[in-house]
Amino acid sequence: MPCTTKIADINFKPKGIILSGSPYSVYDSVSPHADPAIYELGVPILGICYGLQEIAWTHKGTVAKCDHREYGFAQVKINKGSNDSTNALFEGLGDEMQVWMSHGDQLSSLPPSFHIVAHTSTAPFAAIAHDTKPIYGIQFHPEVTHSPRGREVIARFVLAICGCRADWTMEGFIGKEIKRIREICGPRGRVIGAVSGGVDSTVAAKLMHEAIGDRFHAIMVDNGVLRLNEAAQVKTMLTKDLGVNLTVVDASDLFLGRLAGVEDPEQKRKIIGNTFIHVFEAEAAKIEAIAEEEEKTGTEKKGKIEWLLQGTLYPDVIESISFKGPSATIKTHHNVGGLLKDMKLKLIEPLRELFKDEVRALGRLLTIPAPLVQRHPFPGPGLAIRILGVVTREQVAILQHADSIYIEEIRNAGLYDQISQAFAVLLPVRAVGVMGDCRTYEQVIALRAVQSEDFMTADWYVFPAEVLRRISSRITNEVAGINRVTYDISSKPPATVEWL
């Protein structure tokens, strides 16, 4: 729920409350603040990053800008002599732990009735607790992959302190979601599916097929900015391995025509999202017309196509939708922020509350083959957001070739499954080079490879030098128009995984 939710407006008493991070500063006039009534409920409260600062600010502590921003790994040390209420949060977790920091503000003085629980070399108030009430604050982010024991901290709060039960299972999710889909679609409603061949859309399609059978129609749109031979490969994988009834629509001319001359990444996303829906609605109309013809000679009355399936995940939602500060709109994802307001089809998104690692676990339970489940993510806007600058067929061809070499060499080295996502980016700059004793002035490819579970944070992958050397040599020798290759060693945050 948004932090601005009024306690009086909810019809249940929560077991506990977690106040999450935010890009705002608590002392700014436009910053979001939690309903003060949460502190009168008598339930445990945990503040994370901005949430800690919100707790301190509300209880008359001081929050100020750091001397320097803190993004990345830190070593948190638990203070000795902490009282029992403090130990409840970190009990059994040792004297120190590695965590992930991401903040520009921090506490400069404690609020009354609070004490320090933990510190780092640069954050003296890395964790605080109320002297008598179950109110806790931590400056680090336990919810991200790069806080290795962060889940244990959350588990201590949720299970030991709040007294919740850990009875949610992925097996239970499958049954409940299939039931929910059937209730939404009814006995006759039909769905068309946005299938790309990536793990998200593949798992969503399989789940939909399990729920409503042949009333689900899978459609893949070739938007002209797919990877090399992508459409043909996906069609083979989905039809052969999963038995999905798949239609491939070649709309590359339409997409590339609308992208002509466009450089702004947000505009690219919206153009692709809007065109995507237009193509889908047109394809739905064709399927509807075929169904009507079949009804004239058959006895079964088929339902209308009312729904569009999408593989939206929770990180997509978090990064695309902002409500006065709980999260910043980092970028508009085509499947949550780039759709038409007057879209005729209604969205159905069965994976909307799952993270990437959970989707892979769901795929394994649905018996989807490992190569499909482990496939690296590929964004809906495709190579359009990996071409920094104007998108043309020539630029697409260059990037397709370079990206294909990159992935091939990663697989050849046996590293593909160690990497969460790898891809090439075509930069809008030219560099001087020398080939065959001649001066060249050609384009630059940037390589990106990260490790992550949830994609809310990510760290760059450390390649063996010989692998990078081989990749660079092949790209500069085999891809016409490229004379320089660079490797991106930025983590998320402060960078995002994709460049645009």
Is 28 annotated in a binding site? The answer is no
198 is in an annotated binding site: yes
Of the listed 54, 143, 177, 230, which one is catalytic?
143
Question: Is 49 among the residues known to form the active site?
Answer: yes
CA distance 178 to 173: 8
Question: CA nearest 413: which of 375, 373, 467, 453?
Answer: 467
Choose the catalytic residue: 119, 130, 141, 209.
141
Residue 23: cis peptide before it, omega within 30 degrees of 0: no
* 490 assigned binding-site residue: no
Residue 163 marked as a ligand binder: no
How far is CA 483 from each of CA 55, 445, 463, 473, rounded to the nearest angstrom? 53, 8, 21, 10
Task: Yes or no: say if 20 and 74 are a contact pair by the CB < 8 Å rule.
Answer: no
Alpha-carbon gap, residue 460 to 481, rounded angstroms: 27
Q: How many residues does the chain have?
A: 500
Query: Please, are residues 198 and 381 in contact by the beta-carbon 8 Å criterion?
Result: no
Distant-in-sequence, close-in-space partners of 321: CB < 8 Å, separation ≥ 6: 327, 329, 336, 337
102 labeled part of a ligand binding site: no
Q: Is 189 annotated as a binding residue?
A: no
Q: At 118, which amino acid appears?
A: A
Residue 230 φ then ψ, to 5°: -60, -50
Is 103 catalytic? The answer is: no
Is the CB of residue 131 less than 8 Å from the CB of residue 110? Answer: no
Please give the distance of CA 340 from its chain centroid, rounded to a whole number: 21
DSSP sequence for 229-249: THHHHHHHHHHHHS---EEEE
Cβ atoms of 97 and 56 closer than 8 Å: no
Determine whether 141 is an active site residue.
yes
Annotated binding-site residue? 31: no
| Bridge pairing between strands 421-435 and 438-451 | antiparallel
Binding region: 196-202
Question: Among all residues, which ones are annotated catalytic?
Answer: 49, 141, 143
Binding region for ATP: 196-202
